[in-house]
Amino acid sequence: MRALVWYRSDLRTADNTALHHACRAADEGVVALFVISPGEWEAHDLAPCRVDFMLRTLQELSAGLAALNIPLLIEEAALPGDVPGVVARAAARHGCGAVYANREYEVNERRRDAAVSLLLAADGRAVHLFTDQIAIEPGEVRTGEGRFFTVFTPFKRAWITHLLETRGGVRVLPAPNKQNNTGCTPAQVPGFVPGFVSPIPAERWPAGERHAQQRLRAFIAERGRAYKQSRDFPGEPGTSQLSPYLAVGAISPRQCFAAAAEANGDSPDPYRLGNEGLLCWISELIWREFYVHILAGFPRVCMNRPFQPRTERIRWSDNRDHLEAWKRGRTGVPIVDAAMQQLLTTGWMHNRLRMISAMFLTKNLFIDWREGERFFMRHLVDGFFASNNGGWQWSASTGTDAAPYFRIFNPVSQSRRFDASGTFIRGHIPALAGLDDESIHAPWELSPLARARLTYPEPLVDLSRSRAAAIEAFAAIRD
């Protein structure tokens, strides 16, 4: 039997569940396939920098597969609905008796995979899907009543218990065996796809699983133990910045969990006891699992709807000028504008800043969270629907386990706490570089003469009054 491995968001050879099982099952070689689908990417708001990162990761993947005598084929589907036919024809053309792939959980992706299964079944070919994007399949962990969890902390407790009971910790799959040569020639991975040309320099995000592994090792060795203390400060290199690699699957969550647990190896329970920095990072990885669990259990969040139906009654502001100013980093609130400039110039934003900028948009400007969710996806190199949607709904108080509507970040307080010296702000807003460490967080508090010297906008809204208005609007829809 010859097997076809259909790559999607799992662009690596190491610890790849579908590739592992395909190599075990095939006795006439393995063929790999990736489908370039601009229509699908556009429908899912993929950022040009993310597509560029994905293509560069594919180039390394092709070389890694070639070393195993597995050719990577590249096909193109102009429209999302064309993908199932492209996969089915590729399997038939290369004499593959079965297709192996790792599951994706968004509604459209599940429908696509169901369509592929029907087409292949009609042709006498099988489809095998595996858990790989996350460590534990959604639905395996449930409440005592058999429901999907909707609150993170009990989910985390149950998730860790299930992990330890069923697997004794996270096991990483062995490297795939070298395959018989199928006679196919690897395809040329394109350097770019029209409509998705990245403005972010490629060197900002070196691509591929080799770089992902290097970054993981460096983070664990150099910053993992201090992660809890340093992760909230955008001016410091306190985070792993592995999210782009997780998003395209250049590294697996299992590899990340295993590395953290191993570094916490003196602990009898490395997922719950031990170094607080490593435990904090493990917890952040479990948040990713939680958000995938939510979109699988509550598909409405994939359909442009809030998790909490009552919040559909909110009447958001339609002030397009405010929205455009937020997008361009011209709100007049330095920490928000610096965050947006970081996104526009690097394709990435520090997690603390994601929360600050999202709360400012939804609570101070009172603009629909879906506008911000879409803008982030269109600019993030690590755009991953589950995490992006979950984070935006948390910030907007429309989601599961969301921030209570009356707890609203004050961006000035957040700025003074997490960028006290203004280092991050100065790095992204040159117009404020000359201000002292206190004034830089709220330049509207300067004297009129000093304020007049700045080429920086006044705040779009009054922070206190806009906060009060948001609380009042949410209070009015309480059940």
Residue type, 64: G
Catalytic site residue from 369, 373, 388, 389: 369
Strand 98-102 and strand 72-76: pairing? Answer: unpaired
Q: Are 288 and 246 in contact (CB under 8 A)?
A: yes
Catalytic site residue from 28, 108, 316, 410: 316
Tokens of 463: 């922070």
Catalytic site residue from 69, 108, 319, 351: 351
Annotated active-site residue 281? The verdict is no
Collect contacts of 338-342 with beta carbons under 8 A, ≥24 apart.
338/424, 338/425, 338/427, 338/428, 338/429, 339/234, 339/428, 341/428, 341/429, 342/234, 342/428
Annotated active-site residue 284? The verdict is yes
Annotated active-site residue 316? The verdict is yes
Tokens of 138: 């959604």
Annotated active-site residue 369? The verdict is yes
Helix (H, G, I), strand (E, B) or coil at 399: coil
Catalytic site residue from 159, 281, 287, 348: 287
Report the chain's terminal Cα–Cα distance, integer Å: 58
> Cα dist. 51→8, 48, 183, 304, 479 in Å?
12, 5, 29, 22, 42
Annotated active-site residue 236? The verdict is no
Annotated active-site residue 181? The verdict is no
Q: Are 14 and 87 in contact (CB under 8 A)?
A: no
> Cα dist. 217→251, 259, 264, 353, 435 in Å?
12, 8, 14, 25, 38
Catalytic site residue from 28, 42, 236, 284: 284
Please report which residue ranges of 148-275 form alpha helices under DSSP H. Answer: 152-167, 209-222, 227-230, 243-248, 253-263
Show which residues are catalytic: 284, 287, 316, 351, 369, 392
